[in-house]
Amino acid sequence: MKTNSSCLPLNPLKGTYSPFRGLGGNSWHLASGIILFLLLLFNTATVSSQTNYPQTLFRSPVDLTILLSGSYGEIRPNHFHSGIDIRTAGVTGKPVYAASNGYVSRIFVSPWGFGKAIYINHPEGYTTVYGHLDRFGGEIAKYAYEQQYVKESFAIDVTVPTGKIQVRKGEIIGYTGNSGSSGGPHLHFEIRDAGSQEPLDPLSFGIPISDNLPPQITWVKIYPYGQTAMVNFTSNPKSLQATGGNGTYAVSSSDTVMVSGDIIFGIEAYDYHNGSSIRCGVKSIELRVDGVKIFGQHIERYAFADTRYVNAILDYPQNMKNKQRFFKSYIAPGNKLRIFDDVINRGVVNFSDRKAHKIQYVVKDVRGNSSRITFWVKSHPPASAGARPSGEGQPANLFVWDEENSLENSYISFTIPKNSLYENLDFRYESKPPANGSYSRIHVLHDKNTPLHLRCSLSVKAENLPNWLEKRALLVKVEDGGKFVSMGGKFSDGMVTGSIREFGEYTISVDTVPPKIKAVNIYNNKNVSKQGTIVVTISDEFSGIDSYRGTLNGHWILMDFDAKRNRLEYKFDSRIKTGSNKFQLVVTDGVGNRTEYNATLIR
């Protein structure tokens, strides 16, 4: 949807054609042109200039040559990466050091996310974060252990009283691991603004890394934007593969791309560091048309509440299709990120003359290494009917990005909160017959290639659901191949209600199968005097593990949960006694199915 029907001349002082002239071709008076041009620049979401961060305040958190498997600000599923991922040679257990003097402000433990993580506040106004640890060290380990027993929970998120656990620069605070949602052994390290908790790039603080390599540009893309826009006389975007290297790139196609109407450009580029073949994200992107900067993007800081807006600058359908990561040089109306600078008309360029225009991208990494790609497009006046068939594009069900939108009929109630969309949407809905194992029609909510920013309420009418299954009913998303994926939800008044954050196909199913418990190194009446742990695995194939509780002789015990391996482990402590011990584990899934395991253990 086009949300801005006019754009400003490139140079208000001249009457010559510019691709930024208003769509109607109106001329501009000198004074009004200058004023409007300045207002456009100042009203665009901007990013402040880079701060001169202290270069010696923080030491490296590890005594390793720093090689990264992830960089600050790079695109991850539904978010920006908030720190750097430091490789640990594929092993766990390397010492992790406090990067500077301070005190522990927060201890976080979870089967997911950062796993085991430490937050340290520093008097200079920064917070450092150390994630995916294997274990904590010293006083931190003792405090975390005590809190887990106080709360009777493996997962904790504890605010530590100010000054209770003080650390010195270079003091061991823990050991590298692979906990939480980590995809392999590494240390996730962050530096945040302590006041706002906005993450900053650790490499901007002098954390040492060898990098004199310019970013690599892989593709550029040209998108028609609006009803009459065309690329090569079609309404389809055009991808152009990059060729070249060492900072200088061109496009592989020798054919000039024809464009008309409103056009958006995009780029896919990655950064590499010396001694590493792992691709990382770039720091900044700049787009110029005929030598004039029309779009800048520089990730210096952002709020965690805004990180999902990554889907507004990402070519989301392309990423869903084949994991390509195109940055679109365009600010959607519902995009609240403030990482842009010198943006004209939200990045939309209007072409309507018969001239060739020079397009250039410049991308840089955090060390200032830069690469550029230059290519040309040929403009032509709009065709009378545009690239789309006459009459197409008249929305039957227009959802407006900055309003609450809803769909309701006898079988479904779907509500999208205000600001959940990045642009206006011609929403599509249909229903299909139930599938095997479902207890409602399959409701097709638009398509999976359109992102949603906020959680949306979905209620689906249960059809032919027996009363005895009502407590086991849940919303499910129907994935490719017909696979059901649980979305949770509760049954009430003939409907199953839950929240979703993706468009797609939804129905109702049930989960009647309890979780599974498998003992790994114990069995009933086993003598465990020659071992130091109890290890079991737990799993649930549908609604997922909701809770687990292990006890020894009737008292709760701490069982470390590695969710990636479905593994629970209790390390023997004073709670296991000499003689007979009664071990019990109770596991409950998302709809209340329950499994219990009991064993007597001799020590």
Q: Confidence class of residue 28 from pLDDT cuts 50, 70 and 90?
A: very low
Region 560-572: mean pLDDT is: 97
pLDDT category of residue 146 using cuts at 50, 70 and 90: very high
Q: What is the mean pLDDT of residues 360-387?
A: 90
**Looking at residue 348, what is its pLDDT?**
98
- Predicted local confidence at residue 69, as pLDDT: 94
The pLDDT value recorded for residue 226 is 86
The reported pLDDT for the residue numbered 22 is 40
| Local structure of 238: helix, strand or coil | strand
Report pLDDT for 12: 27
CA distance 116 to 502: 29
Helix then strand then coil, in percent of the chain rounded to 5, is: 10, 40, 50
How far is the C-alpha of 529 from the C-alpha of 431, rounded, in Å? 61
Least confident of 16-30, 318-332, 506-520: 16-30
pLDDT, mean of residues 66-94: 95
d(CA 285, CA 240): 17
Return the closest-CA partner of residue 565 out of 148, 185, 187, 179: 179
Least confident of 4-8, 147-151, 287-291: 4-8
Residue 254 region by backbone torsions, left for phi larger than 0, else alpha for psi between -120 and 50, else beta: alpha
Question: How confident is residue 51, by pLDDT bands cut at 50, 70 and 90?
Answer: low
H, E, C per residue of 455-492:
EEEEEEECCCCCHHHHHHEEEEEECHHHCEEEEECEEE
Total Cβ atoms within 10 A of residue 192: 22
Residues 6+ apart with CB under 8 A from 273: 67, 68, 209, 210, 211, 213, 280
**pLDDT at residue 186 tops 70:** yes
The per-residue pLDDT for 45 is: 39
Q: Is the pLDDT of residue 320 over 70?
A: yes
pLDDT for position 227: 85
Q: What is the pLDDT of residues 259-301, one digit of tens each?
A: 999 999 999 999 999 988 999 999 999 999 999 999 999 999 9
Question: Are the CB atoms for 276 and 338 separated by under 8 Å?
Answer: no
Q: Which of 257, 178, 260 is nearest to 227 (CA)?
A: 260
Look at residue 253 in the predicted model and tell me its pLDDT: 81
Q: How confident is the model over 570-592, as pLDDT tens digits?
A: 999 999 999 999 999 999 999 99
Domains of the chain: 68-205 (2.70.70.10), 216-379 (no CATH), 398-510 (2.60.220.30), 516-602 (2.60.40.10)
Q: What is the mean pLDDT of the chain?
A: 90
Q: What pLDDT was estimated at residue 137?
A: 97
- The pLDDT of 463-475, averaged and rounded, is 96
Return the pLDDT at 9.
31
Output the CA torsion sign for 298, 300, 302, 304: positive
pLDDT at 385: 56
Amino acid at 11: N
Tokens 């994926």 belong to 485
Radius of gyration of the chain measured on its C-alpha atoms: 28
- For 203-242, what is each residue's pLDDT tens digit? 999 999 999 999 999 999 999 998 899 999 999 999 999 9
Q: What is the pLDDT of residue 327?
A: 96
**Mean pLDDT, residues 132-146 taken together:** 97
Whole-prediction pTM: 0.89
DSSP per position, 128-140? EEEESEEEE-HHH
Residue 397 CB: number of other CB atoms within 10 A? 12
pLDDT at position 25 is 34
**pLDDT above 60 (res 381):** yes
Euclidean distance between CA atoms 59 and 70, whole angstroms: 19
DSSP string for residues in 313-356: HB-HHHHHHH---PEES---TT-----EES-SGGG-EEE-SS-E
Contact 272, 256 (CB under 8 A): no
Give φ, ψ of 204 to 5 degrees.
Answer: -80, -10
> What is d(CA 522, CA 600) in angstroms, rounded to the nearest whole number?
9
Q: What is the mean pLDDT of residues 382-392?
A: 60
Structure tokens at 70: 């992830």
Per-residue pLDDT tens over the stretch 423-455: 999 999 999 999 999 999 999 999 999 999 999
**Cα torsion 457, 462, 465, 468: sign:** positive
